[in-house]
Structure 1
Amino acid sequence: MCSLGLRFVGHSTVRVELAGHAVLTDPVLTDRVSALTRVTPSATSADRADVDLVLLSHLHGDHVHLPSLRLLSEHVRVVVPRGAGDWLRGKGVRHVDELAPGEELEHGDLRITGVRAEHSGHRWGPRSTRGPQAVAMGHLIEGADRKVYAAGDTDLFPEMADLTGIDVAFLPVWGWGPTLGPGHMDPARAAAAVELIRPRVAVPVHWGTLAVAGLPRVPGRHGKRMRRLLTDPPHEFADAVTGATQVVVTRPGENVRLPGAVPGSS
């Protein structure tokens, strides 16, 4: 059986080792992202070692982070939502391919399928009309009889029920601030997504990694709320999930310890 290696690097960044390839989703590999700062241990060189495929879900700056992309080998294949390829090439990223929801591409022994996401695809957010825009998406990563779903940023949508046979689903359960804007799932909505998808394992992501610089240290209720939101959402998600799906809460920077019930887990 082929092993499936998974590491939650932080935020929406997951390292997937499958079928002889190392894949990164939405790589954020630095300690700062604009006004946000990393509140967990820094990403390491091992997180990006030997990566040969990058999957970008949408153009927001905490998902398409140009300084992080520049830390990777120039030979890495970068897959961006359809319509944003020229923009990314213009930023100096080489070997760019485009993908849209419903489309597939092959990468060696991997098959990557674009999946719908309910989220703004504009670089500067849902209210901007200037700058690059491309439809937001998630990804199915398939190889060696394993299927991994990386949702990117998304709210709940009914067609999640069409995603079948998922071994591991990486689902966002919060964000980086004290509130959530449109196009996101909180723990309860992420648990509802599990009910639709019914993966063998669900791993909560998009939590506990980034915060507005200084906010967690602010005295009073605002700082207290932010500190709670850096730790509680994945556990609230786990408590809300019912049924056969096993939830594996993994801290940013840690390997995902898959239960033995998932074939090929290591």
Structure 2
Amino acid sequence: MKRILSVLVVILFLSQPAVAEQPFPQDTIKTGQGDLVITFIGHGTLVFTFQGTTVHIDPFMQLADYTALPKASLIFLTHHHRDHLDLPALNEVRTPDTMVVMTKTCSETVTGGIVMANGEKLIINGITVEAVPAYNLVHRRDTGELFHPKGIGNGYILTFADKRIYIAGDTENTPEMKALKDIDIAFLPMNLPYTMTPEMVADAARAFQPKILYPYHYGETDLNQVALLLQSAPVEVRIRPMK
């Protein structure tokens, strides 16, 4: 019941304008090597700050004044859709020293950087990075094509000291997701019809049991549903303004 009330309190903030006001909400996560600060920009867009390294996930100009945000040490692009690959936002926080990690399809638009395929694992700027397949199993366009076909999009597991953070990208509850191990924090999308229903999110969370689950990129989905579905699971559901 306490978890459900927490969700209801946070939902009061969800009526804010589409372009969020800065500064943005933040959570601080303790690691064995100092604090990891998570900044919730909105939609599928996040910023992580750890030991002087600033990591941008899918920067999106519609959500923020990127001239006022810190420059990026690392930028991760999950896939090429315009709300995830936004060149003006990317170029605003990119410097000559910024490393951009992306999919092959993103590399057709973004010059430089590192292309990671599904399943690859690298260490970049001291951060272990694992690319997890991100794709649909069920939801399709009117043409019958999946919104996100297999092999094109990435989720990423980023390891900051002793904390493993999974940013799923646009995906459903795939076998690869459900087989993940030792995930401390997971960001799972819930924007219909493109990604997961609350039932799919709950199914995945029960399978790989992240310690903390942040629904993100959730559109108009009823956030109460996922909290109710997971109220007996060993997963802490945290709701932040990530519409």
Q: TM-score, normalised by structure 2?
A: 0.74
C-alpha distance in 2 between matches for 1:244 and 1:22: 30
Deviation at 1:127, TM superposition (A): 7.2
RMSD: 2.7
Alignment correspondent of 1:3:
35
Tell me, yes or no, if the aligned pair for 1:161 and 1:197 is still in contact at 8 Å: yes
Residue 233 of structure 2 is aligned with which of 237, 243, 250? 243
Deviation at 1:159, TM superposition (A): 2.3
Tell me, yes or no, if the aligned pair for 2:80 and 2:105 is still in contact at 8 Å: no
1:88 correspondence with 2:110:
yes
Deviation at 1:117, TM superposition (A): 1.2
Tell me, yes or no, if the aligned pair for 2:60 and 2:84 is still in contact at 8 Å: yes
1:180 correspondence with 2:203:
no
C-alpha distance in 2 between matches for 1:165 and 1:13: 23
Structure 2 matches for 1:50-199, cutoff 5 A?
A: 50-75=71-96, 76-82=98-104, 84-89=106-111, 95-119=112-136, 135-174=152-191, 179-181=192-194, 184-199=195-210
Render the CA deviation track for 1:130-152: whole Å, top value 9, x for unaligned.
xxx97111000012111100000
How many pairs does the alignment contain? 202
Q: Look up the equivalent residue of 2:239 and give its one-letter code.
A: V
In structure 2, list runs of 5 or more residues that go unmatched: 1-31
Alignment correspondent of 1:17:
49
Q: Look up the equivalent residue of 2:78 and give its one-letter code.
A: S
Please identify runs of 4+ aligned residues in structure 1 that moved more than 4 A. 44-47, 125-128
Alignment correspondent of 1:234:
223
Compare relative contact order (CA 8 Å, sep 6+) and give the higher one, 1 or 2. 1
CA separation of 1:134/1:88 partners in 2, compared to 1, >3 Å: closer, same or farther?
Answer: farther
Tell me, yes or no, if the aligned pair for 1:9 and 1:47 is still in contact at 8 Å: no
C-alpha distance in 1 between matches for 2:204 and 2:177: 7
Tell me, yes or no, if the aligned pair for 1:83 and 1:134 is still in contact at 8 Å: no
C-alpha distance in 2 between matches for 1:233 and 1:14: 21
Deviation at 1:73, TM superposition (A): 2.7
C-alpha distance in 2 between matches for 1:190 and 1:27: 24
For residue 203 of structure 2, give the secondary structure of its aligned residue in structure 1: helix
Tell me, yes or no, if the aligned pair for 1:18 and 1:144 is still in contact at 8 Å: no
For residue 194 of structure 1, give the secondary structure of its aligned residue in structure 2: helix
CA separation of 1:195/1:238 partners in 2, compared to 1, >3 Å: closer, same or farther?
Answer: same
Calculate percent identity across the aligned residue pairs.
Answer: 27
CA separation of 1:79/1:126 partners in 2, compared to 1, >3 Å: closer, same or farther?
Answer: farther
Tell me, yes or no, if the aligned pair for 1:173 and 1:233 is still in contact at 8 Å: no
C-alpha distance in 2 between matches for 1:152 and 1:109: 22
Tell me, yes or no, if the aligned pair for 1:81 and 1:134 is still in contact at 8 Å: no
C-alpha distance in 1 between matches for 2:79 and 2:59: 12
